[in-house]
């Protein structure tokens, strides 16, 4: 059985760094889409809320209109009754009947007046109600415009990034196979544990590129030699040198083999 050739520490670090580059690109796509799906959902909620409000307000308006109809019917009823009582007045036989009919007539005219007063009141509020509904409708139209734009943006980003994401994921599949299984575990744990998704970092200005904690000179030397796995004592991120990170050319002295 042919055994896989043992990778040098430098090669292992290189493989991990390659994976980190892919994961950082994937993270960027995630950030790019980041807020848009949420913003679209938020706007959909807002519009749904406004719709419910318009519905409720319209129901209120229709109820007011129905109230006016009801009060108008009530007035007609009173008028009919008053007419009937007046006809009956011609046929009264005694004072008691006369008084009783007159009392009814007074009562019904009072009822009619009351209904008329209610109608005026309701009518007075109709305009304000209609105006309020129109305002909410205006707001909804404007929010709907926002939603349409954001939806279009999201679709565009999705269509643009979808292909890149697929490519990166295929690339990641290949890259991950080259990474030492034990190192991968720690790599994933740290990468998902930090918001910036960085697990493999370089030394920048004598400090860890992930947490900016100071790196002692001896450790920096070991990092540059790349024959040991070195993690930041402050944050646990894996530290690689600039050559592995591809931001510096290998030193002539190192190119001995």
Should residue 235 be labelled a site residue for Zn ion when binding is judged by CB under 5 A? yes
Q: How far is the CB of 23 from Zn ion (least distance, A)?
A: 17
- Select the span of 49-57, 97-105, 154-162, 227-235 touching Zn ion (CB under 5 A): 227-235
- Pick out residues in 16-35 that bind Zn ion (CB under 5 A): none
Tokens at residue 162, please?
């979808």
Taking the C-alpha atoms of residue 166 and residue 160, their distance in angstroms, rounded to an integer, is 11
Question: Binding Zn ion by CB under 5 A: which of 210, 241, 243, 245?
Answer: 210
For residue 7, is it left (φ>0), alpha (ψ between -120 and 50) or beta? beta
What 3-state DSSP class applies to 200? strand
- Pick out residues in 179-208 that bind Zn ion (CB under 5 A): 208
Should residue 50 be labelled a site residue for Zn ion when binding is judged by CB under 5 A? no
Question: Binding Zn ion by CB under 5 A: which of 232, 243, 244, 245?
Answer: 232
Overall residue count recorded for the chain in this entry = 257
Should residue 209 be labelled a site residue for Zn ion when binding is judged by CB under 5 A? no
Q: How many residues bind Zn ion (CB under 5 A)?
A: 8
Q: Is residue 92 within 8 Å of 101, Cβ to Cβ?
A: yes
Please name the residues in contact with 126: beta carbons below 8 A apart, sequence gap of 6 or more: 61, 64, 65
Burial 164-184 (b: 16+ CB within 10 A, else e): ebeebeebbeebbeebbeebb
Q: Among residues 63 and 204, whose Cβ is nearest to Zn ion?
A: 204
Q: Among residues 92 and 207, whose Cβ is nearest to Zn ion?
A: 207
Q: Among residues 68 and 208, whose Cβ is nearest to Zn ion?
A: 208
Should residue 239 be labelled a site residue for Zn ion when binding is judged by CB under 5 A? no
Task: Provide φ and ψ at 242, rounded to 5°.
Answer: -65, -25
- Select the span of 4-12, 191-199, 224-232, 240-248 touching Zn ion (CB under 5 A): 224-232
Chain positions contacting Zn ion, by CB under 5 A: 208, 210-211, 213, 232, 234-235, 237
């Amino acid at each position: 059985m042919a055994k896989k050739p043992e990778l040098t520490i430098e090669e292992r670090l290189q493989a991990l760094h390659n994976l980190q580059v892919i994961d950082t690109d994937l993270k960027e796509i995630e950030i790019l889409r980041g807020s848009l799906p949420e913003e679209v959902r938020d706007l959909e909620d807002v519009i749904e809320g406004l719709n419910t409000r318009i519905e409720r307000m319209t129901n209120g308006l229709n109820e007011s209109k129905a109230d006016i109809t009801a009060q108008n019917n009530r007035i007609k009823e009173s008028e009919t009754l008053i007419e009937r009582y007046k006809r009956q007045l011609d046929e009264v036989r005694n004072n008691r009947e006369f008084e009783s009919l007159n009392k009814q007539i007074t009562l019904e005219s009072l009822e009619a007046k009351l209904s008329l007063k209610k109608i005026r009141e309701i009518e007075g509020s109709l305009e304000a109600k209609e105006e309020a509904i129109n305002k909410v409708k205006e707001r909804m139209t404007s929010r709907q415009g926002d939603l349409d734009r954001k939806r279009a943006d999201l679709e565009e980003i999705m269509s643009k990034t979808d292909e890149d994401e697929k490519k990166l994921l295929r690339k990641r599949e290949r890259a991950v196979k080259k990474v030492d299984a034990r190192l991968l575990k720690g790599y994933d744990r740290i990468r998902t544990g930090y918001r910036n998704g960085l697990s493999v970092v370089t030394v920048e200005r004598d400090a860890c590129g992930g947490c900016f904690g100071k790196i002692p000179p001896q450790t920096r030397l070991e990092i540059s030699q790349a024959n040991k796995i070195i993690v930041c004592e402050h944050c646990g991120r894996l530290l690689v040198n600039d050559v592995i990170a591809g931001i510096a050319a290998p030193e002539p002295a190192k190119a001995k083999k």
